[in-house]
Structure 1
Amino acid sequence: MRIAVISDIHSNLLALKAVLEDIKKRGVDITVCTGDLVGYCTYPNEVIELLREKNILTIMGNYDDAVGYEKFICGCDYPDPKDMENASISLNYTIETVTEENKRFLRELPLEMVLKFEGKNIMFVHGSPRRINEYLKENSKEAEEVMGEFKYDALVCGHTHIPYVKKYKDKYLINAGSVGKPKNGSPNANYIIINVGEELDVEIHSVPYNYETVAEEILKNGLPEKFAENIRTGKA
């Protein structure tokens, strides 16, 4: 069984299309999205509608929650006031852009999902089972705490925008990275494929796409230059 997992698309339609094309070539049985469909880039409606068209199983991310309910706070932890200001600009733009129908879709997304594949129970969340916006960074105290009490075979999340896999005794913590706003130092879109058998094997894929067009659209729409820089560099 091969499960593709995508996450943190953040309104980046070109990256999403490139990843879905790549997935199509790799003999995948099912695709799951762990949230944050919207924010930062300029195609939130198109991203939502493409995922709906493809019937991709999708979890709610903190940005989806904020836009769906028009909260005007994204739930991210930004110690730099400038980053917080930019996040507010992104959120306001996205709330104004997303249609009422698509906001309703975001509101109806589940916070978590547990699926069974070949005897393995795999939980999908955005941040963590404890909070939608909790960062389970690799080797972090938070990850140790969560996995210390985790009852399923694998936990798959996003939110950090950096893909990784780590085993905690007989349980796996897997981060799907980010399709639309990677933070691993490359502008390429990234996602994962989980091969389910006696053990779990995780492939991390990096997909090139025309990120310069996305960066130019960000600037054309009056969003912060920092967003375009992030897309071009793959850095936070």
Structure 2
Amino acid sequence: MRIALFSDIHANLPALEACFKSIEAQMPDAIYCLGDLVGYNIWPNEVINEIRKRCIPTIAGNYDQGIGLLSDECGCAYKTDVERDMGKISIAYTNTLVRPDERRYLRTLPAHIKLEFQLNNDKLNLLLVHGSPRKINEYLFEDRNEKSLLRIMEQADADILCFGHTHKPYHRVLPTAPTETPRYRHAINTGSVGKPKDNNPKGCYVMLTINAESSISNKHAIQVDFVRFEYDVEKAAKAIEESPLPDAYAEMLRKGF
């Protein structure tokens, strides 16, 4: 089974359209969205409805949760007062844009999606979250302590944990404590479709392949491909500059940070 996983569109319609074009060319067996459809750009309703009309199973991101609840807080961990002030402008502006029906959709998105595979006498659990299994806005960065990340996955009973939120893609294979039968868990950050932060302005999503031979005792049991795609960055950046949103968000798109 080939599964396309994407997240963190953040109201960037040109990026989402290019993402769908790329995904359709890959012909996956299933598609899932890991949240944060809105915020930081001008097309929240359009992004929501592009996903809805394709009937893509979607979980709530922290920004979706904030807007769904008509809150002035998105649960983002801003590092400076300047970032916090820009964030307040973004969520306030997004709240003025999102229509009642689209807001209801955001408010009813599930917190996670869990899929259980039965392969080779193994049970293989795939868990989709936005931030972490513990908290919608917890950041699981690539340099997270291995014991901490493994504990989070064990507590959630996740053999494969897929998430977004940091906007920085990675795949880590985590061996469990030594036993007679080895066991491996996979932590996968899907990156960001519409607001990359890894110094690459191209959008990103994941193609996850689970095959008939996949096993929790094989560290190479699954295939994880990070797909980067080009989109009209300048169109998305200029849309920001022509809106009440801070111009700094446009420059972030251009530079991928």
TM-score (ref. length: structure 1): 0.96
Aligned to 2:218: none
What residue ranges of structure 1 are gaps of 5+ in the alignment?
Answer: none
> 1:135-185 CA distances to partner (integer Å, 9 max, x unpaired)?
000121353541353422211000000111101111111111000000011
**2:160 pairs with 1:154:** yes
Letter in 2 for 1:132: I
Aligned to 1:7: 7
- Which runs of structure 2 are paired with 1:82-93 in the superposition (5 Å)? 82-93=82-93
Moved more, 45-54 or 192-201: 192-201
Confirm or deny: 8 A CA contact 1:137 1:143 kept in the other structure. Answer: no
**2:125 pairs with 1:121:** yes
Aligned to 1:74: 74
3-state DSSP of counterpart to 1:202: strand
Aligned to 1:187: 201
- Identical residues among aligned pairs (%): 41
Confirm or deny: 8 A CA contact 2:202 2:229 kept in the other structure. Answer: yes
TM-superposed CA distance for 1:222, in Å, is: 2.2
Determine the C-alpha separation between the residues in 1 that align with 2:79 and 2:201: 24
TM-superposed CA distance for 1:79, in Å, is: 2.0
Confirm or deny: 8 A CA contact 1:118 1:196 kept in the other structure. Answer: no
Bigger CA radius of gyration: 2
Aligned to 2:61: 61
TM-superposed CA distance for 1:192, in Å, is: 0.5
- Which runs of structure 2 are paired with 1:205-220 in the superposition (5 Å)? 205-220=227-242
Aligned to 1:201: 223
Aligned to 2:142: 138
3-state DSSP of counterpart to 1:66: helix
**1:223 aligned residue (228, 245, 250):** 245
Letter in 2 for 1:182: P
Aligned to 1:165: 171
3-state DSSP of counterpart to 2:26: coil
Confirm or deny: 8 A CA contact 2:4 2:205 kept in the other structure. Answer: yes
TM-superposed CA distance for 1:109, in Å, is: 0.2
Letter in 2 for 1:178: S
**2:191 pairs with 1:177:** yes
Determine the C-alpha separation between the residues in 2 that align with 1:66 and 1:167: 32
3-state DSSP of counterpart to 1:58: coil
3-state DSSP of counterpart to 1:57: coil
Letter in 1 for 2:67: V
CA RMSD of superposed structures (Å): 1.2
What residue ranges of structure 2 are gaps of 5+ in the alignment?
Answer: 176-183, 215-220
Determine the C-alpha separation between the residues in 2 that align with 1:44 and 1:30: 24
C-alpha spacing 1:118/1:5, structure 2 compared with 1 (3 Å)? farther
3-state DSSP of counterpart to 2:28: coil
